[in-house]
Structure 1
Amino acid sequence: MTGPALRLEGVTRRFAGHAALADLTLDIERGEFIALLGPSGCGKTTALNCLAGLLPLSEGRIWLDDRRLDTLPPERRGFGMVFQNYALFPHLSVRGNIAFGLRMRRLPRAEIRQRTDEALRLVRLEEHAAKLPGQLSGGQQQRVAIARAVVVSPSLVLMDEPLSNLDAKLRLEMRTEIRRLHQRLGLTTVYVTHDQEEALSLADRLVVLRAGQVQQIGSPEELHDRPANPHVADFMGFRNLLRTTAETVDGDRVGFRIEGVPCTGSAVGDVRPGAGVVVAVRPENLVPAEDGLPCVVDVAEYQGRDMAAEALTGDGLRLHLRTTARLAPGDPLTVAMRNALVYPAEGRD
């Protein structure tokens, strides 16, 4: 069968007249890993709960192939879900937690055992099968939650910030684990996160949301290299968002000045000479140069291979830098911009 596995058409959810999610339209292919990305309150968890059936839609439809899902209760949608807080049954063993969904489906005992054993091997928890959740580490508990979600062979796996309660080392390990499982099983997955690095490393496509509205849908490379607007750029690591005026536009090359210093960048959108613009630059693309923007280091943080720094210009403009040079507060710098993106000013509210 061809066509998308899952289709969201104008999915909207309102609370007291306010649209927490507005007009989300998205086709998700079989086996695709989609990340819903954005800050707190952007609508990503609302979207996931609408998919899961935990929230009714105010408008729109959800289809799985030619079957409409939004009119079905959660238990009839056949999805697996991994929650932020694991949501394991504390009185059941690891094996019991994983087998729970299979028992609810009243499958034969031999099949339940076989599929539970396979899931335990998949998440490498065979030796912990008899333990209770309280005897496991956070990462192990999350593996149990993932195994419980995938053991029922769901048509879709929903993950709601599953790594946010883990420490930094475990987050990296579990990120690799989730990617490994997805590559092996090929399950269609919708993953909610506020962590852009996590989304970039896991997803086939990203959906960036803001205030319930879709800002951009695209591959990790597209969102990383060419954010659609200043909001997406800010969220994807372009920490320097500088307001100025476009002086010249030649094709996609834009000339502008920052505190009197001439600079150039690439236009994104309809940039016109004389119009206000927002210039987006990653910290690593503000580089030392003989002819550039003078500034003074205000804060410097050693981060292993390089340093993160904040510097102030003569007019008090704050710049974010990342460099291998050793910096200290009070050090004078002159920096130039590389790979700057230039947006129409109305693209940032």
Structure 2
Amino acid sequence: MTERSFTELRLDGVGRRFAGKDALVDLDLTIRAGEFIALLGPSGCGKSTALNCLAGLLPLTTGSIWQRGPEGERRIDTLPPEKRGFGMVFQSYALFPHMSVRRNVAFGLQMRRLPRAEVVRRTAEAISLVQLDEHASKLPGQLSGGQQQRVAIARAVVLEPSLVLMDEPLSNLDAKLRLEMRSEIRRLHQSLGLTTVYVTHDQEEALSLADRLVVLREGRVQQIGTSEELHTRPSNWHVADFMGFRNIMEVDVTHVSGTEVAVAAGELRLRGTATADVSVGDRVVAAVRPEDVLVGTADGPDGTPATVEVAGYQGRELAVEVRTSDGRALHLRTEQRLAPGDAVTLTIDPQRLLIYPLAAGEHVPEPLVAAVPS
């Protein structure tokens, strides 16, 4: 289903400034037809700005956007939004409250003055795709949040767009609905052969949905890659921090042998894997996920001694915060039933502890409050 088919969409050096301040800087990205791309990052990183530039809702300060198709290549950043052939799903749904589901979905087709029979057919198909046939005559206020979001998706795909843009469409839903809608969005993407660009601040959501992720920080691209690449090999410690490497600490390099690095901080002695060239004496950042911190008994060999401070039940496992004898807090996940005050030892597989260079003058912020991860 495409209004105007394309083989790739290319963003060349796309940038946007507000009041002289950069919100997005030199975004280079090629999107292939049929791909699901997630723009990911914390609030204020530039992901929604990038989406709005792509949609035509914001003019570019720098750069250009090109679309390549059977008829060749054309520049589209100079076109108004309605001429780009894109569909958009907003966080707020933006449904007409006085119109039924059927009329909401049909509205865009009617504005294009398509024949009535085609409007009826395509509207029915879109409503069926999002499994809302029995709700077609209802008003948005009579639907649940998840059903309203499906109406918004149907309204976007009924136009048969070449690209669907989604701006944090699940952020207003509860946890159960978010999980259900993830599957729904992925199903529609695959069954319709859509090309999708999806904005989110939720790394779990992005990992489960996207073919490739674009991680942004302060308006600049930090890494572009598959879910597996970003999950296992973040390009720098900022990406690692955002992608769930909750234990981020400054340490000193004491030994280097190829990519294997020994590091130390206070009484902490660890071995890890360097992601770039480092030398003995360098101040670096060590990063490891909570699930990769292994816990043993207090009398276990070759481990770092620590004391449990907080333990929170999370179903099959506990989210635990421990503190080493020199006051360093570390987070871990374990199926062992630990309680505050328990003495343990900690070990980490060197392949799981990633070592990143630290730029001159850069420091890892200390957590203000030690807490169990939610």
- Structure 2 length-normalised TM: 0.91
Spell out the pairing of 1:185-204 with structure 2 (5 A cutoff).
185-204=192-211
Post-superposition offset of 1:311? 1.1
Alignment correspondent of 1:41: 44
Q: Which amino acid letter does the alignment assign opposite residue 270 of structure 1?
A: D
Alignment correspondent of 2:356: 343
Q: Which amino acid letter does the alignment assign opposite residue 20 of structure 2?
A: G
Q: Within 2, Cα distance between the matches of 1:304 and 1:258?
A: 33
Q: Which amino acid letter does the alignment assign opposite residue 169 of structure 1?
A: K
Alignment correspondent of 1:32: 35
Instruction: Tell me the alpha carbon deviations over residues 104-144 of structure 1, each in whole angstroms, 9 at most, x when there is no partner.
Output: 11111000110011101100000000000000000000000
The 3-state SS of whatever aligns with 1:36 is strand
The 3-state SS of whatever aligns with 2:359 is helix
Alignment correspondent of 2:67: 64
Alignment correspondent of 1:315: 326
Whether 1:126 and 2:125 are equivalent positions in the alignment is: no
The 3-state SS of whatever aligns with 1:75 is helix
Instruction: Tell me the alpha carbon deviations over residues 287-332 of structure 1, each in whole angstroms, 9 at most, x when there is no partner.
Output: 1242211111111110001000111112211101110011111111
Alignment correspondent of 2:247: 240
Q: Within 2, Cα distance between the matches of 1:207 and 1:139?
A: 26
Q: Which amino acid letter does the alignment assign opposite residue 131 of structure 2?
A: R
Alignment correspondent of 2:309: 298
Instruction: Tell me the alpha carbon deviations over residues 66-99 of structure 1, each in whole angstroms, 9 at most, x when there is no partner.
Output: 1111111111111000000100010111001111
The 3-state SS of whatever aligns with 2:333 is strand
Q: Which amino acid letter does the alignment assign opposite residue 10 of structure 1?
A: G
Alignment correspondent of 1:333: 344
Q: Which amino acid letter does the alignment assign opposite residue 81 of structure 1?
A: M
The partner residue of 2:12 within 3, 9, 12 is 9
Alignment correspondent of 1:214: 221
Post-superposition offset of 1:261? 4.0
Q: Which amino acid letter does the alignment assign opposite residue 294 of structure 1?
A: P
Q: Within 2, Cα distance between the matches of 1:209 and 1:84?
A: 19
Q: Within 1, Cα distance between the matches of 2:256 and 2:192?
A: 49
The partner residue of 1:180 within 172, 187, 204 is 187
The 3-state SS of whatever aligns with 2:146 is helix
- Structure 1 length-normalised TM: 0.97
Q: Within 2, Cα distance between the matches of 1:317 and 1:261?
A: 9
2:17–2:24 CA contact under 8 A, matched in 1: yes
Do the aligned partners of residues 253 and 10 (structure 1) sit closer, same or farther apart at CA in structure 2, a change above 3 Å counting? same
The partner residue of 1:272 within 270, 279, 299 is 279
Q: Within 1, Cα distance between the matches of 2:247 and 2:114?
A: 56
Instruction: Tell me the alpha carbon deviations over residues 245-277 of structure 1, each in whole angstroms, 9 at most, x when there is no partner.
Output: 111111111111243343211111222221111
Alignment correspondent of 1:150: 157
The partner residue of 2:267 within 255, 260, 263 is 260
Aligned residues: 348
Alignment correspondent of 1:106: 113
Alignment correspondent of 2:372: none
1:245–1:275 CA contact under 8 A, matched in 2: yes
Q: Which amino acid letter does the alignment assign opposite residue 303 of structure 1?
A: Q
Post-superposition offset of 1:224? 0.2
Q: Which runs of 4+ in 1 moved over 6 A?
A: none
Alignment correspondent of 1:95: 102
The 3-state SS of whatever aligns with 2:294 is strand
Q: Which amino acid letter does the alignment assign opposite residue 331 of structure 2?
A: H
Q: Which amino acid letter does the alignment assign opposite residue 346 of structure 2?
A: V
Q: Which runs of 5+ in 2 are unaligned?
A: 364-374
Post-superposition offset of 1:3? 8.6
Q: Within 2, Cα distance between the matches of 1:193 and 1:86?
A: 15
Q: Within 2, Cα distance between the matches of 1:140 and 1:29?
A: 30
Q: Give the fraction of aligned pairs with identical amino acids, expressed as a percent.
A: 68
